[in-house]
Amino acid sequence: MAAALVFALALALCFGRGEEEAAPQAAASPPPPSGRQFFSPVPESGLAVPNERAERRRQLVEQVQLTDHTYCSYLEGSQYPMDSRPAAQNPDQLHPNQPVTEMHPMRHEGGGNSAGVFLQTSQSRVYLAAGEAAAFSLRAVDAQGATVPIVITRGLAQGMTYGGSRPTPQVALSFVDDGSGADPVAGDNAYAGVLAPGQTGLAGFHGTIRTEVRYTAGGRNGFALFDVIYTPVLPATWTGQVREAVENGSLSFYLGLDVRQPGRYIVSGRVDDARGDPFALASFNEVLGVGAREVKLTVFGKLMTDERPALPLRLRDVDGYLLRENVDPDRLLLPRLEGQVFASRTQTMKGVSDAEWQSEERSRYLLEYAKDRNAAREQLAAFDPTAPLPPSSCVPAR
């Protein structure tokens, strides 16, 4: 018994001394240059078994690829400023005035859907500034696309209120199929109606206006809903004055704006090339004071030198709003400028720069992403010095 006790004490002393000797070695291991430890280092006590070593190398390779992808993606994506982007990156914003169309199974008044009848709906716009109107249309079809006769029994619009707010007036809407108003073709069993809030009892309402349409089709009663967001007052109006300038290596359009309410204005404009192909989305996001002001929409120089659009460029479909923070609705709409707003007179690339966009924020992000990438590559190189590092997908960090 005494011999066993002595043997156990000897083992404990031996292991304790090994741990004390190993501790200073682990503490002496330097951290990665960026201060980020992606994976634990290989134990100093010896090499990992083959399967563990292969898995560790796979993880380190993935980390190198991930940090390289992050750095290179940001490097490429930030070469143009956020207020001047290629049209191909914003396909959903290129045609803001196209109707919103949907098709879904007919919804019954008492609940449920019809499996054999489908309702096709369209509305000309979702956001309405003061003085604007929205057109709605609907038709019914069967599963083969053949028209199902439809009869409109009621169309009613009302502002949506919540809590203790007083209900708004209800406005009756007429839906017709006689080729007048918003209905382009008479007798095709597609019915259309128009909502112009400024001409009704909803003229002073600010918020969502819901139009409910009741109808019968295929022997059943159904309903459809159309929502628009309405602004009853204009925070600013366009003066109609537009000028252009090639400055700081970019092409800029200046639009005159008469500001009635100060605040942050957000404006977007679409830029097409001389062939009419969408080229760029230009935006403005700045605080404006009351009075005569200008909204600057810029086509960045490097975007022009990279893509080489057919000149001259054309500005079209400008819309915007005054941002209202911490309230609902969160915006007061500007009148939209539909179609071509201005045709540039700039016919050549003279004065247009091919320099990448630079800013303090971009430099800071690139520096941090480069640190991550370098640290990951150094960890992999330290783990497996004999194997080549994965190639980078872009130029080295500068």
Q: Provide DSSP, 262-326.
A: -EEEEEEEEEE-TTS-EEEEEEEEEEE-SEEEEEEEEE-HHHHHHH-PPSSPEEEEEEEEEE-TT
Higher pLDDT, 281 or 46: 281
Q: Which two tokens stand for residue 213?
A: 């349409």
Query: What residue has token string 């700039």?
Result: 346
pLDDT interval class at 47 (50, 70, 90): low
Q: Which residues pair with 113 in a beta bridge?
A: 107
| Nearest residue to 216 via CA among 311, 135, 149, 298 | 149
pLDDT interval class at 15 (50, 70, 90): very low
> Which residues lie below 8 Å from residue 367, measured CB to CB, with a gap of 6+?
none
Query: So what's the pLDDT on residue 49?
Result: 65
Q: Which two tokens stand for residue 2?
A: 């005494």
C-alpha–C-alpha distance, residues 331 and 266, integer Å: 10
C-alpha–C-alpha distance, residues 52 and 66, integer Å: 21
Q: Is the dihedral of CA 320, 325, 330, 332 positive or negative?
A: negative
Residue 106 has pLDDT above 70, yes or no: yes
Query: So what's the pLDDT on residue 109?
Result: 83
Query: So what's the pLDDT on residue 397?
Result: 63
DSSP 108: B
Q: How many CB atoms lie within 10 A of CB 111?
A: 6
Instruction: Identify the weakest region by mean pLDDT among 72-86, 123-137, 268-282, 383-397.
Output: 383-397
| Nearest residue to 373 via CA among 345, 360, 392 | 392
| Nearest residue to 222 via CA among 186, 185, 184, 191 | 191
Query: So what's the pLDDT on residue 288?
Result: 98
> Do residues 394 and 75 lie in contact, with contact meaning Cβ atoms separated by under 8 Å?
yes
Over residues 307-313, the mean pLDDT reads 97
Residue 112 in 3-state DSSP? coil
C-alpha–C-alpha distance, residues 313 and 273, integer Å: 5
Cis-peptide into 329, omega within 30 deg: yes
Query: So what's the pLDDT on residue 172?
Result: 97
Query: So what's the pLDDT on residue 50?
Result: 72
Query: So what's the pLDDT on residue 183?
Result: 93
Query: So what's the pLDDT on residue 27?
Result: 34
Instruction: Identify the weakest region by mean pLDDT among 3-12, 169-178, 185-194, 283-292.
Output: 3-12
pLDDT interval class at 48 (50, 70, 90): low
Higher pLDDT, 87 or 48: 87
Query: So what's the pLDDT on residue 132?
Result: 96
% of the chain surpassing 70 pLDDT? 87
Beta strands 220-230 and 207-217, pairing class: antiparallel
pLDDT interval class at 139 (50, 70, 90): very high
Domains and CATH numbers, the chain: 50-79+357-398 (no CATH), 112-230 (2.60.40.1930), 234-343 (2.60.40.3870)
Higher pLDDT, 326 or 26: 326
* Mean per-residue pLDDT of the chain: 88
Residue 338 in 3-state DSSP? strand
> Do residues 269 and 341 lie in contact, with contact meaning Cβ atoms separated by under 8 Å?
yes
Using one digit for the tens of pLDDT, what is the confidence trace for 363-395? 999 999 999 999 999 999 999 998 899 999 996
CB burial class (10 A; 0-12, 13-18, 19+) of residue 127?
A: middle
Using one digit for the tens of pLDDT, what is the confidence trace for 275-293? 999 999 999 999 999 999 9
Using one digit for the tens of pLDDT, what is the confidence trace for 184-232? 999 999 999 999 999 999 999 999 999 999 999 988 999 999 999 999 9
Residue 302 has pLDDT above 80, yes or no: yes
Reported pTM: 0.81
How many residues comprise the chain?
398
Between the alpha carbon of residue 323 and those of residues 171, 204, 320, 326, the distances in Å are 29, 19, 9, 10
The torsion defined by the Cα of 28, 30, 31 and 34, in degrees rounded to 10, comes to 160
